[in-house]
């Protein structure tokens, strides 16, 4: 793993640990946005997986505020997240990439376990996280097909999400419809 | 016969809005033959059939493979890899190549050349901008990454040479051309009026946009101005 990527992930996870302890889901969501820059530039699995896990934790916490999870399930989740965040950072500092990856996996599994214990429909946090973070990377100028591979989602899911955003409106580009229409008219002549 | 190489992005937009029948119409009326790579079919049909939410969309596209509106053909893998490597080394961020496109997308160019067509049907905005406005794409990167992005001019020149005259059109352009050819009339035959036709075109464009076709609100206004 590149040292700049490692440094970025360590900073993010230490931030997440702090925000998790003080029950600040907004800060965690902000941290998940921050790592998108690295995910776009380096496009390697550790940054994308970290982005997904961090966002998922933030989302679970945000839901927890509004819809109370069963206490026992929440306590188990809390313990796992705290332990694994510390382990993940320790592993990365020692260049233990395999151990770090395993911690990420356990974090994801903890989110999925809590999520499934509560949600009765197939709208799971981790799946949503992949789409949402993938769409964010697309805003950074990476093609959807490329992102679909990176995040392990289908193009169908990403396109339907990306189409609903106001990304193109924010870019305020000059229209080239006229040129393209002329092109297609020539083609069909 | 007119060949048009098609990307998964456009098939997804069209299928999601039940507009694939336009391709059947254009085939019958304008002798249009759509050509897709096996990778495109794998994404838009095989993957979709495994996801409940998109299964019907996948079947809609599958129908067009079965009825011959879309045929499969192989692209040139050597040329594809060359175009991909070049495209993904045009832009540099922090001294590294900023990789922006996928092999399946760049594979459309050699296939378009093979079929003797100058056009690819692609709704993906990055591919369109890379071919038509690479400087504009640089500005998008800089805005989003909040850092300087360099263009490797020799790679850009090489890319332009590899792509040649091949260019892109979008599924929204097919809606426009179908309207101009009168192919939409039958759809609203029972409630034919100027307003209904305008609503059909405008509604189709909005539907395509919401399904990922990279057209903006301004683009839709421009279509309305040019067509009506």
Query: What value of ipTM does the predicted structure carry?
Result: 0.92
Q: Give the structural domain span for A68.
A: 3-187
Contacts with A, B 17-36, CB within 8 Å: 30, 32
Q: Do A40 and B174 touch (CB under 8 A)?
A: no
Which chain B residues are within 8 Å of A184, Cβ to Cβ? 119, 169, 173-174, 176-177
Nearest to B95 by CA among A1, A6, A147, A42: A42
In A, what residues contact B, Cβ < 8 A?
37, 40-43, 139-146, 149, 154-160, 162-164, 168-169, 171, 173, 175-178, 180-181, 183-185, 187-188
For chain A, what is the domain count? 1
Q: Do B98 and A41 touch (CB under 8 A)?
A: yes
Q: Are the beta carbons of A133 and A161 closer than 8 angstroms? A: no
Our CA-based measurement puts residue A78 at a distance from the nearest CA of chain B, in whole angstroms, of 32
- List per-residue pLDDT tens for chain A, 189 residues long: 888 889 999 999 999 999 999 999 999 999 998 888 888 988 888 999 999 999 999 988 887 766 677 888 888 999 999 999 999 999 999 999 999 999 999 999 999 888 877 665 445 788 889 999 999 999 899 999 999 999 999 999 999 888 887 776 666 677 789 999 999 999 998
């Amino acid at each position: 793993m590149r040292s700049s990527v490692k440094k970025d992930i360590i900073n993010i996870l230490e931030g997440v640990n702090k925000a998790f302890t003080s029950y600040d889901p907004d800060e965690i969501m902000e941290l998940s946005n921050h790592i998108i820059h690295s995910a776009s530039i380096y496009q390697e699995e550790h940054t994308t997986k970290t982005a997904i896990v961090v966002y998922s934790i933030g989302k679970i916490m945000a839901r927890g505020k509004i819809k109370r999870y069963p206490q026992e399930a929440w306590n188990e989740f809390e313990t796992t997240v705290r332990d694994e965040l510390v382990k993940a950072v320790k592993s990365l500092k020692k260049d233990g990439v395999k151990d770090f990856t395993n911690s990420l996996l356990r974090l994801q599994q903890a989110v999925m376990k809590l999520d499934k214990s509560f949600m009765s429909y197939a709208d799971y946090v981790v799946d949503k996280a992949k789409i949402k973070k993938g769409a964010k990377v697309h805003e950074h100028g990476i093609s959807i097909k490329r992102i679909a591979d990176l995040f392990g989602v289908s193009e169908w899911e990403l396109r339907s999400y990306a189409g609903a955003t106001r990304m193109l409106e924010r870019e305020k580009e000059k229209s080239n419809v006229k040129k393209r229409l002329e092109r297609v008219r020539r083609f069909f002549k | 016969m007119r060949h048009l190489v098609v990307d998964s992005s456009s098939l997804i937009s069209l299928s999601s809005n039940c507009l694939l029948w336009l391709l059947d119409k254009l085939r019958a009326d304008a002798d249009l033959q759509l050509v897709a790579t096996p990778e495109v079919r794998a994404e838009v049909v095989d993957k979709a059939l495994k996801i409940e939410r998109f299964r019907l969309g996948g079947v809609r596209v599958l129908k067009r493979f079965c009825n011959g509106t879309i045929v499969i053909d192989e692209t040139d893998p050597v040329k594809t890899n060359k175009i991909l490597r070049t495209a993904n080394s045009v832009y540099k961020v922090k001294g590294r190549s900023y990789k922006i496109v996928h092999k399946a997308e760049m594979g459309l160019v050699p296939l378009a050349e093979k079929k003797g067509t100058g056009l690819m049907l692609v709704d993906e905005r990055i591919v369109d901008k890379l071919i038509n406005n690479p400087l504009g794409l640089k500005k998008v990167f800089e805005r989003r990454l909040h850092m300087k992005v360099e263009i490797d001019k020799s790679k850009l020149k090489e890319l332009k040479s590899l792509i040649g005259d091949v260019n892109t059109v979008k599924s929204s352009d097919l809606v426009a051309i179908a309207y101009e050819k009168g192919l939409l009339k039958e759809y609203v035959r029972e409630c034919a009026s100027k307003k209904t036709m305008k609503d059909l075109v405008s509604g189709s464009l909005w539907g395509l946009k919401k399904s990922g076709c990279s057209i903006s609100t301004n683009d839709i206004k421009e279509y309305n101005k040019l067509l009506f």
